[in-house]
A and B are shown apart, each in its own frame.
Chain A
Amino acid sequence: MTAKTLYDKLWDAHLVKQRDDGSALIYIDRHIIHEVTSPQAFEGLRLAGRKPWRVDSILATPDHNVPTTTVERASGVSGIADPVSKIQVQTLDDNCDSFGITEFKINDRRQGIVHVIGPESGACLPGMTVVCGDSHTATNGALGALAHGIGTSEVEHVLATQCLVAKKMKNMLVKVDGVLGKGVTPKDVVLAIIAKIGTAGGNGCAIEFGGQVFRDMSMEGRMTVCNMAIEAGARAGMVAVDDITIDYVKDRDFAPKGNDWVLAVNAWRELVSDADAVFDVVVELNGSDIIPQVSWGTSPEMVVSVADSVPDPAAEKDAVKQTGMTRALEYMGLSAGQKMTDIQLDRVFIGSCTNSRIEDMRAAAAVVKGRKKADSIKEAIVVPGSGLVKEQAEAEGLDKVFTDAGLEWREPGCSMCLAMNADKLGAGEHCASTSNRNFEGRQGYGGRTHLVSPEMAAAAAIAGRFVDVREWL
Chain B
Amino acid sequence: MKAFTQHKGIVAPMDRANIDTDMIIPKQFLKSIKRSGFGKNCFDELRYMDEGQPDQSCEGRPLNVDFPLNFPRYQGASVLLTRENFGCGSSREHAPWALEDYGFCAIIASSYADIFYNNSFKNGLLPVILDEKIVDQLFEEMYAEEGYELLVDLENLQVITPKGEAFGFELDEFRRHCLLNGLDDIGLTLEDADAINAYEATLKARSPWLFNAIKG
Contacts and interface: CB of A to CB of B under 8 A. Distances in A.
Given A16-B199, A161-B196, A163-B196, A153 B185 contact: yes
B162 interface: no
Interface string A320-343: 000000000000000000000000
A25 B192 contact: yes
Contacts of A58: 214
Main secondary structure of the interface of B (DSSP, over half): helix
B100 to A, nearest CB: 9
A162 B210 CA distance: 13
Interface string B55-96: 000000000000000000000000000000000000000000
Point out which of B34, B193, B212, B214 has the most chain A C-beta atoms below 10 A from its C-beta: B214
B203 to A, nearest CB: 7
Interface in A73-104: 84, 87-88, 91, 102
Contacts of A153: 185
Given A27-B199, A29-B210, A256-B212, A44 B35 contact: yes
Given A16-B195, A25-B192, A160-B190, A128 B210 contact: yes
Given A48-B186, A127-B207, A157-B186, A162 B196 contact: yes
Contacts of A256: 209, 212
B33 A16 contact: no
B164 interface: no
Nearest to A59: B214
Interface in A136-161: 153, 156-157, 160-161
Interface residues of A, number: 41
Given A153-B185, A161-B186, A260-B208, A39 B192 contact: no
B133 interface: no
A263 B206 CA distance: 9
A281 interface: no
Contacts of B144: none
A454 B1 CA distance: 48
A119 to B, nearest CB: 14
Contacts of A43: 33-36
Contacts of A27: 196, 199-200, 203
Q: Please list the 8 inter-chain residue pairs (A to B) with the smallest Cβ-Cβ separation, ordered nearest first.
A: A56-B213, A256-B209, A39-B33, A43-B35, A260-B209, A161-B189, A16-B199, A40-B35
Given A50-B186, A157-B186, A267-B206, 9 more contacts: A16-B196, A27-B199, A43-B36, A56-B211, A56-B213, A128-B210, A161-B186, A161-B190, A264-B209
